[in-house]
């Protein structure tokens, strides 16, 4: 725990200015990305079939983008969960554009939503909308990504630091680094979007596990590119990750140097790195590539042996926890760990790890991530959220 707190402090220093916890809303059925309104309509239809008695309350759900696979799932699950529980919903995707996300949230507030659920594009760029939510008395749940504004009441996410430690531990165990002797393994690192508060946690969780091996020379980052800002990937872009990986491979590995492992914070970046390794790496060994999310293309790469693992986060469960929390908030119930049994989902109530502004802790419900490899893909099928085709590849159940 001390180590975790220390890391959190390091991240705070690293990302310089932590602002505050915030929220705001307004509703409309529009979306800034075409497919989102379709997703919303589909969910609406399903919701109407199974709808509970109408609450007369409206929920604004602001998602970052449809260009990254998981948010399509999050948006659809949240929309469906809330509608099935009798809420009216407004679902928007903001095309990875913070200004657009502020507008979308302002529209939700103008539409008199009763509560906002926001997965921020940039955790430090929503102050205008968050302050307006606070003024309007509309509570905000920061969903998956923390918002640096004190208008945020609660945070629902997975244990982001643990996501990184799972990736680091996987590398340690797979290469058996504790028994490496004089063997040196070469590694490269790709992290996430600096605007996303989670990205530093993923990176630091992994680095805290791997640093002793880097210090001992057992792991060698041949490019020398290790600090977060150097290895970060704006907007978690697959193309950006691909381009940097190609540059690293041509600059440092074209002479036949063996690459053993590429730590990638998530699946969208792992997709780009895997593509670069497949096309531009001269060696014939299998490069260990980590990831996070369980995106379909990455699961295919895992089956094909091109990616080695992903840290899976069940976002359907994340939406269920969010619904239960929102219901408790709107009912004026006490919000603490006593709610967790009613979720029926493994998670922790954490009042220490996250701050929306300096010293202002944000009570958080943190779900538990797990490691998926080619050997336990069945666990994904068992969630009921994926199915395995005859070709052995997994696809999300629509
Ligand atoms: C999420 C990850 C996701 C990344 C890019 C992060 O905030 O926690 O699950 O891979 O954003 O979408």
* pLDDT, position 24: 31
Q: Give yes or no for residue 397 having a pLDDT over 70.
A: yes
Rounded distance between C-alpha atoms, residue 126 and residue 37, angstroms: 23
* pLDDT, position 56: 94
CA of 188 to the centre of ligand 1 (A): 20
Q: Give yes or no for residue 142 having a pLDDT over 70.
A: yes
pLDDT, average across residues 247-267: 98
Q: Give yes or no for residue 42 having a pLDDT over 50.
A: no
CA of 33 to the centre of ligand 1 (A): 18
Name, in order, each residue with C-beta under 8 angstroms of 148's C-beta and a sequence gap of 6 or more.
17, 18, 19, 20, 21, 22, 123, 124, 197, 356, 357
Q: Which residue has the least CA distance to atom 10 on ligand 1?
A: 266
pLDDT, average across residues 337-349: 96
Q: State which of 236, 268, 270 you would mutate to test the pocket of ligand 1, scoring each by most atoms of that ligand within 8 A of its C-beta.
A: 236
CA of 108 to the centre of ligand 1 (A): 24
pLDDT in tens, 159-216: 999 999 999 999 999 999 999 999 999 999 999 999 999 999 999 999 999 999 999 9
pLDDT in tens, 66-110: 999 999 999 999 999 999 999 999 999 999 999 999 999 999 999
How buried is 397 (Cβ within 10 angstroms: 0-12 exposed, 13-18 middle, 19+ buried)? exposed
Report the pocket of ligand 1 as residue ranges, CB < 6 Å. Answer: 68, 70, 144-145, 196, 198, 236, 266, 268, 292-293, 313
CA of 212 to the centre of ligand 1 (A): 27
How buried is 334 (Cβ within 10 angstroms: 0-12 exposed, 13-18 middle, 19+ buried)? exposed
More confident residue, 45 or 181: 181
Q: Give yes or no for residue 39 having a pLDDT over 80.
A: no
Distance set, CA 396 to CA 63, 87, 316, 384, 391 (Å): 19, 26, 12, 9, 15
Contact between 133 and 105 under an 8 Å Cβ cutoff? The reply is yes
Atom of ligand 1 nearest to the CA of 293: 9
pLDDT, average across residues 223-236: 98
pLDDT, average across residues 121-142: 98
Distance set, CA 330 to CA 55, 142, 155, 380 (Å): 10, 16, 15, 33
Q: Give yes or no for residue 36 having a pLDDT over 90.
A: no
Atom of ligand 1 nearest to the CA of 315: 9
Q: Which residue has the least CA distance to atom 3 on ligand 1?
A: 266
Q: State which of 266, 267, 297, 316 you would mutate to test the pocket of ligand 1, scoring each by most atoms of that ligand within 8 A of its C-beta.
A: 266
Rounded distance between C-alpha atoms, residue 69 and residue 77, angstroms: 13
- For the chain, the three-class secondary structure string (H helix, E strand, C coil) is CHHHHHHHHHHHHHCCCCCCCCCCCECCCCCCCHHHHHHHHHHHHHHHHHCCCCCCCEEEEEECCCCCHHHHHHHHHHHHHHHHCCCEEEEEECCCCHHHHHHHHHHHHHCCCCEEEECCCCCCCCHHHHHHHHHHCCCEEEECCCCCCCCEEEEEEECHHHHHHHHHHHHHHHCCHHHCCCCCEEEEEECCCCCCHHHHHHHHHHHHHHHHHHHCCCEEECCCCCCHHHHCCHHHCHHHHHHHHHHHHHHHCCCCCCCCEEEECCHHHHHHHHHHHHHHCCCCCCCEECCECCCHHHHHHHHCCCCCCEEECCHHHHHHHHHHHHHHHHCCCCCCHHHHHHHCCCEEEECCCCEEECCEECCEEEECCEEECCCCCHHHHHCCCEEECCCCCEEECC
Q: Which residue has the least CA distance to atom 12 on ligand 1?
A: 68
Contact between 25 and 116 under an 8 Å Cβ cutoff? The reply is yes
When pLDDT is cut at 50, 70 and 90, the band that residue 52 belongs to is confident
* pLDDT, position 84: 97
CA of 236 to the centre of ligand 1 (A): 8
* pLDDT, position 10: 39
pLDDT, average across residues 315-330: 98
Percent of the chain whose pLDDT exceeds 70 = 87
CA of 195 to the centre of ligand 1 (A): 11
Mean of the per-residue pLDDT values of the chain: 90
Rounded distance between C-alpha atoms, residue 166 and residue 231, angstroms: 19
Q: Give the least confident one: 41-50, 130-139, 207-216.
A: 41-50
Describe the strand order of the beta sheet including 288-289 as a list of residue ranges.
Answer: 219-221, 185-190, 261-264, 288-289
* pLDDT, position 51: 57
Atom of ligand 1 nearest to the CA of 267: 10
When pLDDT is cut at 50, 70 and 90, the band that residue 362 belongs to is very high
pLDDT, average across residues 290-307: 98
When pLDDT is cut at 50, 70 and 90, the band that residue 236 belongs to is very high
**β 115-118/152-158 pair status:** unpaired
pLDDT, average across residues 206-232: 98
* pLDDT, position 20: 32
Atom of ligand 1 nearest to the CA of 197: 7
């Amino acid at each position: 725990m001390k180590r975790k707190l220390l890391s959190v402090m390091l991240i705070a220093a690293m990302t310089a200015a932590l602002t505050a916890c915030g929220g705001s809303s307004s509703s409309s059925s529009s979306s800034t990305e075409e497919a989102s309104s379709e997703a919303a309509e589909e969910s609406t239809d399903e919701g109407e079939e199974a709808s509970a008695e109408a609450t007369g309350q409206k929920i604004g759900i602001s998602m970052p983008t449809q260009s990254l696979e998981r948010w399509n799932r999050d948006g659809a699950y949240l929309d469906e969960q809330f509608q099935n529980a009798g809420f009216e919903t407004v679902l928007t995707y903001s095309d990875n554009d913070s200004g657009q996300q502020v507008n979308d949230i302002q529209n939700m507030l103008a539409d008199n939503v009763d509560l906002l659920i926001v997965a921020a594009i940039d955790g430090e760029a929503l102050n205008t909308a968050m302050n307006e939510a606070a003024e309007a008395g509309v509570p905000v749940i920061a969903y998956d990504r923390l918002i640096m504004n004190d208008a945020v009441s609660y945070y629902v996410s997975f244990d982001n630091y643990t996501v990184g430690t799972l990736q680091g531990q996987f590398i340690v165990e797979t290469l058996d680094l504790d028994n490496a002797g004089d063997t040196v393994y070469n590694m490269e690192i790709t992290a996430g979007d600096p605007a996303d508060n989670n990205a530093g946690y993923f990176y630091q969780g992994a680095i805290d596990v791997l640093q002793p091996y880097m210090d001992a020379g057992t792991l060698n980052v041949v490019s020398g590119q290790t600090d977060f800002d150097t290895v970060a990937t704006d907007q978690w872009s697959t193309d950006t990750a691909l381009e940097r990986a190609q540059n690293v491979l041509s600059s440092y590995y074209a002479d036949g140097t063996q690459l053993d492992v590429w730590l990638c914070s998530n699946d969208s970046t792992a997709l780009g790195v895997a593509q670069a390794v497949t096309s531009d790496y001269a060696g014939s060994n299998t490069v260990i590539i980590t990831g996070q999310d369980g995106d379909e293309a990455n699961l295919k790469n895992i089956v094909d042996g091109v990616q080695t693992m992903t840290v899976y986060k069940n976002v359907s469960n994340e939406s269920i926890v969010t619904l239960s929390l929102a219901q408790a908030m709107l009912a004026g119930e006490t919000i603490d760990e006593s709610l967790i049994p009613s979720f029926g989902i493994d998670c922790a109530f954490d009042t220490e790890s996250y701050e929306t502004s300096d010293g202002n802790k944000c009570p958080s419900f943190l779900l538990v991530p797990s490691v998926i490899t080619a050997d336990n893909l069945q666990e994904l099928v068992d969630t009921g959220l994926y199915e395995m085709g005859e070709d052995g590849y997994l696809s999300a159940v629509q």
